[in-house]
Amino acid sequence: MKKSTLSTFPALASLSLGMTCLMLFSCSPKTSETSGNPLWEGWYADPEGVVFGDECWIYPTYSHPYKEQLFMDAFSSSDLVHWTKHERVLSIDNISWLHMALWAPSVVEKDGTYYFYFGANDVHEGEIGGIGVATADNPAGPFKDAIGGPLIGHIINGAQPIDQFVFIDDDGERYMYYGGWGHCNMVRLGEDMVSLIPFEDGEMYKEITPEHYVEGPFMLKRDGTYYFMWSEGGWGDGSYCVAYAMADSPFGPFNRIGKILQSDPEVGTGAGHHSVVKAAGKDEYYIVYHRHPLGATDGNDRVVCIDRLEFNADGTIAPVRITFEGVPATKLR
């Protein structure tokens, strides 16, 4: 796997980034003080931000036609401003049943192993595909298929098996929320992280779909409250956005409170499919998401951005202000 430092891009790359900015009228060059948005050059979407050690890692979908989505790159940073690209951390080379549409990673570390969950093949019932899992001994991979086929390969409760998010609760319980086509299920992962085990009531799949849910679930726990978030609208246009619910349990009920992330006609459109990272020891959160630059013409013209996620005094989430500046240099550990 190759590695390149984006902050030392050669002149040609800067020129091409400048041209792209000029054409799309909607990105701001990185300064040493702020990250700028988008965070780096290229079409990427569905970013999963996660903190490993003292670095923030972002694993996005390669946002190109389905047939070209056969690998994933990752990006790491120790200050949210300077990013290093890690090429092809997961690819068709190590997943025999992948043939297109590699989507929306979720990556967690447990006992020194990194587990990379992904959606593959835009699967329909009767086809091979769905949610898979690959492992590596470091966050840059290369990640290799852990079970030789999908972990979830069927349509259960109407949910396409894509867009998984893995959440480890404070008591060590491991849950996966997933689902496209307007339905969201949760499952329980075994201690091995590569198998499903029943819930205490014997169920394997629980449907927890909130009102207006489309895809892209994400869970954040803060001060004992479970903040469940998801994407609504259509990912290819400006209707895409993120809404949330608050609950006392990882099982919900998840009653929709309202939108927190959406288009800003002055900045970008279709902001959605996000994740959240937290600064250690501080009540400080950052939302990582994709949006279409102003002037974008194709649904896959999606770029990865970061902005602050803030809470109101009553614990609800304040609407996110999407920016060209991004966030200031920050140590997450």
Q: What positions carry a catalytic annotation?
A: 46, 215
Identity of the residue, 228 or 332, whose beta carbon is nearer to ligand FUB in the bound complex: 228
Alpha-carbon gap, residue 332 to 325, rounded angstroms: 19
Closest distance to ligand FUB from the beta carbon of 149 (Å):
20
Identity of the residue, 38 or 216, whose beta carbon is nearer to ligand FUB in the bound complex: 216
**Cα three-residue angle 173-178-180, rounded to 5 degrees:** 170
Alpha-carbon gap, residue 26 to 38, rounded angstroms: 9
Alpha-carbon gap, residue 25 to 266, rounded angstroms: 10
Identity of the residue, 103 or 228, whose beta carbon is nearer to ligand FUB in the bound complex: 103
**Residues present in the chain in total:** 333
Cβ–Cβ contacts within 10 Å for residue 319, how many?
11
Cα 130 → chain centroid: 17
Strands (E), 127-205: 130-136, 144-145, 165-168, 174-178, 185-189, 196-197
Closest distance to ligand FUB from the beta carbon of 4 (Å):
23
Alpha-carbon gap, residue 86 to 74, rounded angstroms: 5
Closest distance to ligand FUB from the beta carbon of 66 (Å):
9
**Cα three-residue angle 210-214-219, rounded to 5 degrees:** 60
74-113 as b/e: b if 16+ CB within 10 A: bbbbbbbbbbbbbebbbbbebbebbbbbbbbbbbbbbeee
Closest distance to ligand FUB from the beta carbon of 60 (Å):
9
Identity of the residue, 104 or 152, whose beta carbon is nearer to ligand FUB in the bound complex: 104
Chain positions contacting ligand FUB, by CB under 6 A: 45-46, 61, 103-104, 119, 162-163, 215-216, 235, 273
Identity of the residue, 34 or 69, whose beta carbon is nearer to ligand FUB in the bound complex: 69
Identity of the residue, 157 or 225, whose beta carbon is nearer to ligand FUB in the bound complex: 157
Closest distance to ligand FUB from the beta carbon of 35 (Å):
21
User: Which residue, 83, 88, 90, 104, is CA-closest to 38?
Assistant: 83
Alpha-carbon gap, residue 193 to 92, rounded angstroms: 22
